[in-house]
Structure formats: C-alpha cells, structure tokens
Structure 1
C-alpha cells in the first residue's frame, strides 16, 4: 500500500482548516485566515511525524493528541482567558467529531477509499471524489445542525445581560434575543434595541420621562415639541414600527453613549445602536426588559 505524503498533507490541511473554520463560526470568533491555516498546518505536520516515525509511540498517546489540540487552538484562536480557551477547545472537539463521523462513514461505504491507523485517517480516490463528498456531507450536516440550534435558541428565549449608558447614567438588565426584531433607525440604519420605559426611566431626561408618565408617546405634536426643546434633541428620533401588537406605530428612540451585550470574556461593546422606548411590559413574568436583535450578539 502506497501513501503519498503530499496527498496526506493536503487532505489534513483542508480538513483541519474546515474544522477550525466551523469552530470559529460556532464560537462567533473572527480569526484571520492565516491563523486558521497555521493551526491546520500544525495538525498536518503531526500526522507526517506519525507516518514517518511510527516507532515513536509517545506521539500516538492520548496525552500527545490532547497536547496537539491545545496547540492548534492556541495558534488558531489564542483565547485570552482560561474559561474561553476551554470552551473553544470543547467546540473544536465537537467540530472534529462531526468531520470524523463523515470520514468514517465514507470509509465504511467505500472499502477501497482509505484506511485508519494510529489515529490517522487517510482517504484517497483517483478523482478526489471521496474527499469532496465527505466535505459536502459535513456541510449538509452542519447546516441542519445549525438550523436546529437556532430554532432551539429561539424556543428557549435566550437571555443576554445588557448594559446601557446614556449621559451620566447606566442601567443593567436582561434582554431577549428576538429573531423577529429587525427594527432599524430610518436615518442611520442602526439596529434598534427595544427597552421597557420602566426599566430605563432613571437614565432618561426628565422631559422625556414626562412623555411616558403622562402616556403622551403617541401624541406626535406633543412629542415633537418636547423633544425639540430638549438639549438632547440630536440624540432622539422617531422610529416607525409595525409590531409589538400595533400597526403603523411610532417609538421614541435615542442614541446611547454605548451598550454592552453579554458578560465576562464574551462581553461586546457597541456604539452604533438606537434604543427604542416601549411603554408597556415586554415579558409576562418579568424575565427580560428588552428585545435584542441577533446581529448585535
């Protein structure tokens, strides 16, 4: 049986790169393609060492392969915190299992298509169709898996910590990641986060608070006059909407200094956003006080 090193290296670089790319997608990382390639190359180099030096049993041990995983994740993603490193490593293993499952499936379906030895999966085909179909199958599996995950997230009403800063005040609350929230500011096209008035009241100017306290948010003449007389006029705008139980409605919105979404290592700061003020409860059980667009996480 002949094994061509160039084919083996090429296959492993391609597969490792796709595994790392999938890991990045699941983790919502945006590493450079160079880092992903270098991580894939490290994995391919390990395979070549195993092939050329089969008597070095130490490289075939579980500990050695675990150390390789740590090296690949460090090269490709360089997570700053231990918790993020462990999470990225776990997702990397899940991605690897998905690709490995597809590779094994094709080996069993096509007995002349490759072999497995010392943890090395070697797939060959004169036209390269075996590897192509393996990758295509993984793509389909990932697509189905991703849709299921997104549906599950939607059903479970994923909650995210949200911090809003405006003027000298900040508030912290929980927001629901709402796939149906596609509101945008018509002037700047910035995404809109819908927030309950009672949750955000304390950081709003007094004149804006009076609009909602007196339930005048639908009186456009009063709103226009009050906002135009406010020193914060440039920060406020009117946002049309056709949801939240009302058609052709209008939200009063404002541009905050910034918002922070998430927590710990996954915290994300955003300035290009508008806060839309809603004068009703968004949650029946008070689990959240805002609706967050998925594009902001």
Structure 2
C-alpha cells in the first residue's frame, strides 16, 4: 500500500488472528445524522458488528493518514469537529496532503477497505445516478465496478433515480442480491419495484455467490437489505415530499454535494423525524448482516 495507512489496535489484532472484519464509513457520522444521534449510531453499528462475531473497522482520514479502525475518541472528532470534510475518491490526495480530517463516503471506504484486505463494507444507502441528470453519477458506482468488495446496503438513496442506478449496476457487472427479497429496497421503503438479480436467505449463500463472483474476475457486489418492516415508509408520500424538496433546492440554487444533505434534511423535517428513525434502524441491521457475511467469508 502506497497511501499512508494506519490500523487501529483492534483491527491490527483482528488481522493478526484472521478474524472477520467489517468496514464502516464516516460520512454518516459527520453528515448523515443529527447530533447526538450521529455518534450514538456509529458506536451502535460497531457494537452490532461485534455482537455478530466480527470486528468493526470504521474508516476516516486523520492527520495525513487513512485510519482503518478509528478509536472511540477519534470517532467523536468526526461527530463533533466542524472542520470535517466529505471525502470521495477524488478528494483523498487533497485531504491527505493537507493533513485534514475527512469523512469517507461509500466510494472512499470501499477503496480503502480493498487495499486493507477487508472484503465487506456496511452502509445505509449507496450513491447513484441523479434525477434529471444522468451524467451526474456518484463515484460510489464506478468504485464498486473497480474493487472486489461486497457492500451491504438498503439500495441507493431514495432521492436518486433508482431505475437508472439499477441499469448502471447491471451494465457494469455488479450483481445485486436481495436479502430475503426479490425486489430492490428503496432505502426508506421496503421495495422500489425493481428486480434484484437473485434472492439470498443466508450469509452463507451470499458468501458463496461473492466468492464465485470474485473467482470469475468480478469486482463489487451488493447485498440489498430492506428496512425493518415495522418502520419502513410507503413510497408515494415520500415521493411527494421529495419532489417538493427538489423544487425548493432548485429555487435556492443548492448545488453539488450540498444537494444530498439538503434533501435528507427536508425529508426528516417533513416526515416528523420518521425518516431518521428508519435510517438509524437500517444502518444497524445492515451492520449485523454484514458481520454475518464477513464471518461466512472467513470460514
């Protein structure tokens, strides 16, 4: 590895003893949830991974290093420091050279996990193709097409063009496995109505498909987990809220990376916090399932 990597003590121990490891991102800590829930959920995700017999490795950029396995004190910095910046693949050299504090997106987390030999990442929702702008594609997608990592998620974020994102994944050979379902989840909602490539009902089944995929030269693979049924929100009212938020974003000239947090904040306000509850629940469930799959891959 040419980049300046540093492993947390618990991850170093896990690597030495060949324990299964699950990589976690830090954008959700820095930008994805309001305080103090952001830090609480990050710690709960790590505990969910441990409870399933794997070791969590939350990834972030600190002091010119890619840290694989932040300590609790370091993680608190990502939850509270106003200087934290969002880091995708293109931002890595800039933030590292300037010794800044950078919260990793799915793309940056997958990139780092692949170089650290960690085959499983857990997150909430991946990025994708933006609505009304098919040329605007999140770097999460090309990174998945380039790195042999399995990502456990609840589909792409609901604010995106889910059909176009699904087509992009198919074109670039990224299999989508539905965890106990035949249709792709829509983040806050149980189903987008779009088909997955195969349903899996166990970690062992997902691991077997992933091993075969990688043996054939494949790269990224998704395991899509629906949000808990008791909390999942219906798509129709969410779509109305989203369309209203998109119009407001256009009127306010919200652009670039600021669009996603703006829309997510509006969703939280207009669902009276229900969307935040769903987000929190699916993050924990995805961490648990990722740990089970990591264990199955390690056997």
Q: TM-score, normalised by structure 1?
A: 0.21
Q: TM-score, normalised by structure 2?
A: 0.21
Higher RCO, 1 vs 2 (CA within 8 Å, ≥6 residues apart)? 2
